[in-house]
Chain A
Amino acid sequence: DVKVTQSSRYLVKRTGEKVFLECVQDMDHENMFWYRQDPGLGLRLIYFSYDVKMKEKGDIPEGYSVSREKKERFSLILESASTNQTSMYLCASSFRGNQPQHFGDGTRLSIL
């Protein structure tokens, strides 16, 4: 089975802090994704990567950056955390473009 592991289930940070969310997959998938999930808004794509060191903006990239130095690891960075970035963050991976995406269990991030 595909395993997508997110480093933390719950995280509390303060406004202005630089926040790192880590995601690791163990299936040699080419594609990795970061979403945020908010009540009433569904899942929204922040960034995705289709190869090492490659990244593409999703629908809501503002305030975020990403890093993919190794195939199995995709990091989401909040450069200067703000309260409106309080959310559930979900990482996913897939083998190729139209193959199913497999999700981690999410990180519930609170910015105080």
Chain B
Amino acid sequence: DAKTTQPPSMDCAEGRAANLPCNHSTISGNEYVYWYRQIHSQGPQYIIHGLKNNETNEMASLIITEDRKSSTLILPHATLRDTAVYYCIVVYFYGQNFVFGPGTRLSVLP
């Protein structure tokens, strides 16, 4: 069973922030939230991950709610090259099996 729920598709204007939501209401205390994206005909690309604190790197920011039941991936200034399918997944602390659901298809529009 999927551990995360994401909207199937979203649009974002180029140059604007893209905010991608993810619901993981059954997450347990020792599970991380990971985000990946997959551009057509390429393998999934790691973006960011976190446990309970907000995280930021050169690609994106991850905001996790205090109850950890949902999170938001923020691409601060979306470009056309950010058009991809974005996957939010929940991974046990020592887990090996990354289970990818259908994700959110983000279209960045000029």
Contacts and interface: CB of A to CB of B under 8 A. Distances in A.
A37 B44 CA distance: 11
Interface of A: 4, 31, 33, 37, 40, 42-43, 45, 48, 50, 56, 58-59, 90, 92, 97-98, 100-106
Given A98-B32, A104-B43, A42 B94 contact: no
Given A42-B102, A98-B32, A103 B95 contact: no
Nearest to A43: B100
Nearest to B48: A100
Contact of B94 (A33, A98, A105): A98
Interface string B78-102: 0000000000000111111111111
Contacts of A4: 43
The 7 closest A-B pairs by CB, nearest first: A103-B43, A43-B100, A97-B94, A100-B46, A42-B100, A105-B43, A103-B44
A43 B102 CA distance: 9
Contacts of A45: 96-99
Interface string B51-85: 00000000000000000000000000000000000
A104 B110 CA distance: 29
9 contacts: A33-B98, A40-B102, A50-B96, A59-B97, A90-B43, A90-B44, A97-B94, A97-B95, A100-B49
A100 B43 contact: no
B98 A43 contact: yes
A46 to B, nearest CB: 11
Contacts of B101: 42
B43 A56 contact: no
A64 to B, nearest CB: 15
Contacts of A48: 96-97
B58 to A, nearest CB: 12
A43 B91 contact: no
A101 B43 contact: no
B26 interface: no
A31 B44 contact: no
Interface string B25-45: 000000010100000011111
